[in-house]
Structure 1
């Protein structure tokens, strides 16, 4: 099929370009998000179903309406909310259905959902698991033992491995009519799109679609003030594969540093590109064949790379209908990580100065954040975008800016203010302000909040924004690792929501887009990069592992009011589980541990060779050991005890101002020379102590529906031909024994989280994470690997050594 520009086929497309996507769904509110080709008044109707099993549509429960906002001439977006009467909320354990109608012309009958989904040029679109063809949903249960959550992150269209997100459709298809088995919520924990590291053919399609849907071509700024002698720069002037210099030098982006030009050579820049990236990620409607490599290039290498990326994108598109159906039938919640804008977004103060101080970098960040606000944040917190709110001001400003074709400076200023883009100082650099001991970006007080909390009868989920509220060290280099949450953000995002609910009634989960716990090799690589000034090569400072003071503050904030917490995370392109036990006060007081379990599911689609290696038995050569860490909120008196050939000497360590954090080891050295650290007396014992233990990955097994799935294509390791050695290596790699590692899953995956064994007598359930993935030994099937961790406190803390009384003075 030849390439056809969107402008020539726009009239053939259905009204709905993307969606419906079921967003925030509670007993008192249901929100559905859509992107349309025309302006409409959209009506959402919620129905009960007979016997609560979804099979037969019952009576209308509630109706809601909202008009679209015009992000472009042919791009109209809405998140429509229906709110039941407070005295008649929706009930858990019941499957509800919803329908939509679209009033595009007041003189004509509204279009039905099926009419809006289909045209004669587009085949019927399945968005339901029932004969009535309506999407359905289920509220979380009252019993935590019946709760089922799905989470994942990092979905790069041309990334390695399969796209794991269609597995959600398989899970829903098997359980659609069974309330006790059906998943309740889906969490996208970051990198829903990639603003950097974009496939050349995908950028080709996004630029065409973005300019067409907006109906105008954005002029990208290069200079602080327009220069009439220089022709305007537009996205179409920056073809795929040729944006590295512009992205790095004119926008300041760091994704391509350290010899990675392919990460910026097709970087998204315009509002049209960022906005349509979501439409392409969630819906097959806009997809079309792109030119072959030989139609664009003469260079053999560029032709080969282009055609390889086209093949990968076709495979992504092949199962996109399943993604569309899945996210129409399960409440879906989202939060950004860095790639939703660009790699390293707000990583450290240097990045902020480098990018926000350049007009093109500032515009690209604003475009990415505006697209995020409309495509993701609106559905997370629809009340923040209700009529008369700051969110509605943002939507109206976006509409005004688009109508003016990017010339309305008042609208642009409003967008920057509400999106939290800081003003520039007289030198042209972004403004910072002080928040206790750190610098933070100077957000306007009217800026929207990206963090949020959701609650049900059995659980609460606190979703953190660890990007825009970072604390940058004042007295250190601008590349120093930041606090991922500044002091005021700890109060606003963690303490405040946790104080709003009673701890004993709900299981607390936290969405942390970046991990608290890493593989040791990641810690070592980041520490080496920090020492050598290469902070952008290994995302140094983009997790909680290097800034131990911030991690300590996070644990303290969580455990002030909770004794068991589950953290869902992503980001790192492998999945695992780890358990952290936390004690406060002195060990001799025998205080009961508080427990945090981190469950990581990553990536939906971005498996890499290094993650596939650590998935195998080879990683068992160097398993992750337990770690013990201690800390003081005061200045302790510590001594080092040294033993050399049976002779003992002791040295008083130089006092260090608090907070002081040390890793606690058993006695170090060998039988001849060894040493340890001891506290002078009980007054110098640690104020807190935590232990990290990795949870063992259980053997993979096939779910009942998991074999010979039609949507899965043969994996790359089933190629034939080549030398006998190559064939032997393929056989070895695909061997199940080799692939059954003990700690992580490195193939594309998603996580399903459940709780068991919770009772009034036992308030400490066991949490299970099943990671679903495609095994190399049977690449047309899906398996799941289980991790289970007890939330009950178990063993006591390792005692901290005390200086013998005979040595105290």
Structure 2
């Protein structure tokens, strides 16, 4: 299998006045150097003045044919030029061969794989320290999800404003489910398995970890398609109901990330004879491992293949976006597995399952390599990166060494970080820093506390470290919305209660691990807000598979008042509410809103942390909130089609909109603070 030189990237990552980080994955080890240019564009006359920089490259081998590289640029003196258009190029050298991105066909204006906008020679960006910003944000991007990829649509925004720094977005926030490790399409699974072996140089021996994989029914299912559901549930102790192709090996997670961001990988799959029609696949695989009837499998296979081809066609746009705007990312459950750490029992069961513990460790390692590393590189020292590289390069790893790696990944607690925007954005780790009820309550409507006390201290410290001060505005990025839509919450609780009485585990059935299902966790957030005392707080979220905007005015017992804005944009590519269902849901929400008006909540401080409506303050009350949902241009309060959030913030104004793309931009009605 002949691999392209560049497997993914370049991605523009953490970018500020004294450092620019560029991430790129290659199939070979190279000496990589960078060039930076100050671009002047007057009346279509472009000039490129070299900027004197220092270049530092950290390369981490993740396999025989997979090298992750983080290139850090620092200014030769002072700071980088601010509020000026900058361009960059990368050069790759090995022995006597040297070439740049232009030699790879990535810098030709108008070409299909070009990373440049308009007539520029290089991918571009800008750095600002103004008291304003323009941000794009979104989540939930499934390869075979329904509809067009809204992340590809961001290419239109950058193209329209590539030279206008007053309008050009300065950062992209990806807020979870950048891949779906549990919900993988059948047509791409054979390639993922084979490609993963090529990247890593080995077929990860899972039988050594879980001997039952060497016996049927698991042995036959392991490397087929649509056959891993029982492996995931029986041997990993996962709870996903869509895990018939669950990623297991590190190479498979890596393959999925490369497919998510590079069109060249799809062309490779086509050249190698993968992505076949169902009939061709059946000829090669006459024995189905899943036990489903052929008609059912064919229907799923054909539907998924159609969406996969649509996804692949949009990837040149996604690749250009990622090369031209700094991106900041955080995980949610599907990046690892559905329901990840949803209850203490879930976590214990998976930890004590050798295969489950190993798969979670693979997922976290891949998250670090493809997402986490570039967010805040200083969070990961050489000891951490060397540990990962040593583990992945070992061909005959001993059990003790593997357990050390697994323990390190499970216990790592520095995923929370801040992004250098204005206002600063703190990205919360709501998956690995949870705390749970005192005893396991699988049959209880109470969910986990998404951030434990140490997590809140770390978030506060991260803000103080980046120079944020009390009285400044603040952005909080929480993959799960803090303020959901009340009618949905009430309906879910009503449906869950009788199932709980019937001893059905409602947490995994209804995905009940949101802020709203743990009153103590809800209170801890408000206490944190009181403690750090921002001027106002923007909460950016995804996960919901619909977009909406809400404002909460929270009045606290001590008389303090805070305004919190919940801005949710989801999904990028995974429409779940369609057609008449979507319209009925929107109508029901509007009727409920018209009937009840703004929602008034009391958060009280009793042992149960109960939530009441329209209740007077008492000595036990923590906060009273008035929550208002903003209507969009079509009169509804939610958008169910694939979408991307856009927000503009300045000292005296904030405008937010939900953006859909159908080869043109469609904005919702903006609301202004």
Determine which structure has the larger helix proportion and give its number.
Answer: 2
Give the alignment partner of residue 38 of structure 1, picking from 28, 40, 45: 28
Alpha-carbon offset, residue 104 of structure 1: 2.3
Q: What is the distance in 2 between the residues matched to 1:578 and 1:678?
A: 23
**Residue 584 (structure 1) aligned with residue 584 (structure 2):** no
Give the alignment partner of residue 149 of structure 2, picking from 156, 163, 166: 163
* Conserved 8 A contact 2:602-2:623: yes
**Residue 214 (structure 1) aligned with residue 186 (structure 2):** no
Q: What is the distance in 2 between the residues matched to 1:40 and 1:231?
A: 44
Classify 1:124/1:661 alpha carbon distance in 2 versus 1 (closer, same or farther; 3 Å): closer
Alpha-carbon offset, residue 67 of structure 1: 4.8
Give the alignment partner of residue 462 of structure 1, picking from 426, 441, 459: 426
* Conserved 8 A contact 1:190-1:340: yes
* Conserved 8 A contact 1:514-1:569: yes
Q: What is the distance in 1 between the residues matched to 2:536 and 2:214?
A: 63
Partner of 1:512: 478
Give the alignment partner of residue 489 of structure 2, picking from 509, 523, 526: 523
Alpha-carbon offset, residue 630 of structure 1: 2.7
**Residue 745 (structure 1) aligned with residue 639 (structure 2):** yes
The structure, 1 or 2, with the larger RCO (C-alpha pairs under 8 Å, 6+ apart) is: 2
**Residue 552 (structure 1) aligned with residue 543 (structure 2):** no
TM-score (norm 1): 0.74
Q: What is the distance in 1 between the residues matched to 2:388 and 2:631?
A: 49
Alpha-carbon offset, residue 494 of structure 1: 3.4
Where do residues 611-622 of structure 1 align in structure 2 (5 Å cutoff)? 612-613=582-583, 616-617=586-587, 619-622=589-592
**Residue 134 (structure 1) aligned with residue 100 (structure 2):** no
Q: What is the distance in 1 between the residues matched to 2:429 and 2:508?
A: 23
Where do residues 159-558 of structure 1 align in structure 2 (5 Å cutoff)? 159-221=145-207, 237-256=222-241, 263-287=242-266, 288-289=269-270, 290-297=275-282, 299-385=294-380, 389=381, 392-405=382-395, 407-409=397-399, 411-419=401-409, 421=410, 443=411, 447=412, 449-456=414-421, 458-478=422-442, 480-494=446-460, 497-498=463-464, 501-503=467-469, 506-527=472-493, 528-529=495-496, 531-532=500-501, 533-558=504-529
* Conserved 8 A contact 1:22-1:33: yes
Q: What is the distance in 1 between the residues matched to 2:642 and 2:457?
A: 35
* Conserved 8 A contact 2:85-2:126: yes
Q: What is the distance in 1 between the residues matched to 2:195 and 2:261?
A: 15
Alpha-carbon offset, residue 118 of structure 1: 6.6
Partner of 1:807: none
Where do residues 67-86 of structure 1 align in structure 2 (5 Å cutoff)? 67-85=58-76
Classify 1:63/1:502 alpha carbon distance in 2 versus 1 (closer, same or farther; 3 Å): closer
* Conserved 8 A contact 1:696-1:787: no
Give the alignment partner of residue 786 of structure 1, picking from 665, 669, 672: 669
Classify 1:678/1:563 alpha carbon distance in 2 versus 1 (closer, same or farther; 3 Å): closer
* Conserved 8 A contact 1:514-1:544: yes
* CA displacement 1:253-281 (0-9 Å, x = unmatched): 1011xxxxxx1111111101101111110
Give the alignment partner of residue 627 of structure 2, picking from 692, 705, 708: 692
Classify 1:192/1:500 alpha carbon distance in 2 versus 1 (closer, same or farther; 3 Å): closer
Classify 1:138/1:507 alpha carbon distance in 2 versus 1 (closer, same or farther; 3 Å): farther
* Conserved 8 A contact 2:339-2:508: no
Classify 1:235/1:176 alpha carbon distance in 2 versus 1 (closer, same or farther; 3 Å): farther
Where do residues 38-57 of structure 1 align in structure 2 (5 Å cutoff)? 38-50=28-40, 55-57=46-48
* CA displacement 1:66-101 (0-9 Å, x = unmatched): 25322111111111111225x511233111111111
Partner of 1:769: 656
Alpha-carbon offset, residue 417 of structure 1: 3.6
Q: What is the distance in 2 between the residues matched to 1:235 and 1:411?
A: 29
SS at match of 1:30: strand
Classify 1:184/1:471 alpha carbon distance in 2 versus 1 (closer, same or farther; 3 Å): same
Q: What is the distance in 2 between the residues matched to 1:755 and 1:84?
A: 28
Alpha-carbon offset, residue 227 of structure 1: 8.6
* CA displacement 1:164-212 (0-9 Å, x = unmatched): 1011110000111111111000000000000111111122221121111
The runs of 5 or more residues in structure 1 that have no matched partner are: 1-6, 257-262, 422-442, 634-656, 667-676, 700-739, 759-764, 791-809
Q: What is the distance in 2 between the residues matched to 1:693 and 1:404?
A: 55
TM-score (norm 2): 0.89
